Chains A and B, each alone.
Chain A
Amino acid sequence: SAVISQKPSRDICQRGTSLTIQCQVDSQVTMMFWYRQQPGQSLTLIATANQGSEATYESGFVIDKFPISRPNLTFSTLTVSNMSPEDSSIYLCSVAPLSGAEAFFGQGTRLTVV
């Protein structure tokens, strides 16, 4: 299993600013995943963060808007840049220590952009 600590748990931000979300795992994992969950919607994968290489972004998400860092095997950050109200959502980090097996999630960051 894996325990994930994600912070902040919530924030209210001004339009045009940036927010960095941190994710700390209690064990070393190869890949960490960042999701967005808008109200009433499914979890949408933003990107996969690999240690030692550039993150892999899904269609519709770009590095300039969602830069990701992965400095070691237990930590990652996601930045939401130049925010607009459309970025208001819950952001979740996740790991799946074993290929194809269960995923573990942080408690999420509820972001509101005003």
Chain B
Amino acid sequence: SQKIEQNSEALNIQEGKTATLTCNYTNYSPAYLQWYRQDPGRGPVFLLLIRENEKEKRKERLKVTFDTTLKQSLFHITASQPADSATYLCALARMNRDDKIIFGKGTRLHILP
């Protein structure tokens, strides 16, 4: 069955350092890989999308890589700040009729001041 794994349940990073989160998947061939941020008591908020034919995508302090051979995506937050503390979700989607998006469990990121 399809499976998405995010590297750890929780990650503590010192303020100013780069936080790197990992997303691995099996039994799936996504057309898109997405990253979302979720704060407590709120719905997920979209951050970045990367297509299967793209290697890297950047947006301000965020960078996402996508390796379809390794079936892995890395999500980087550079110059991390305490306000970056949240749960980050990896999600996969295909260009199918059903257009379903499948989510990983998420990684709780804590940026320590």
Contacts and interface: CB of A to CB of B under 8 A. Distances in A.
B95 A100 contact: yes
A44 to B, nearest CB: 8
Interface stretch (B42-50, B55-63, B67-75): B42-50
Contact of A43 (B31, B41, B44): B44
Interface in B95-113: 95, 98-106
Assign chain A's interface to a size class.
20 to 34
Interface string A21-64: 00000000001010100001111010010000000100000000
Interface stretch (A11-19, A67-75, A81-89, A102-110): A102-110
A41 B105 contact: yes
A92 interface: yes
Given A43-B89, A100-B93, A106 B43 contact: yes
Contacts of B76: none
Interface in B25-54: 31-32, 34, 36, 41-46, 49
Contacts, number: 62
A56 B98 contact: yes
Nearest to B45: A105
Given A42-B106, A102-B34, A96 B101 contact: yes
A76 B41 CA distance: 21
Nearest to A59: B1
Contacts of A41: 105
A101 B42 contact: no
Interface of B: 4, 9, 31-32, 34, 36, 41-46, 49, 89, 91, 93-95, 98-106
Given A6-B43, A31-B99, 16 more contacts: A4-B43, A41-B105, A42-B89, A42-B104, A42-B106, A43-B103, A99-B99, A100-B31, A100-B93, A100-B99, A101-B49, A103-B36, A103-B44, A105-B43, A107-B41, A107-B42
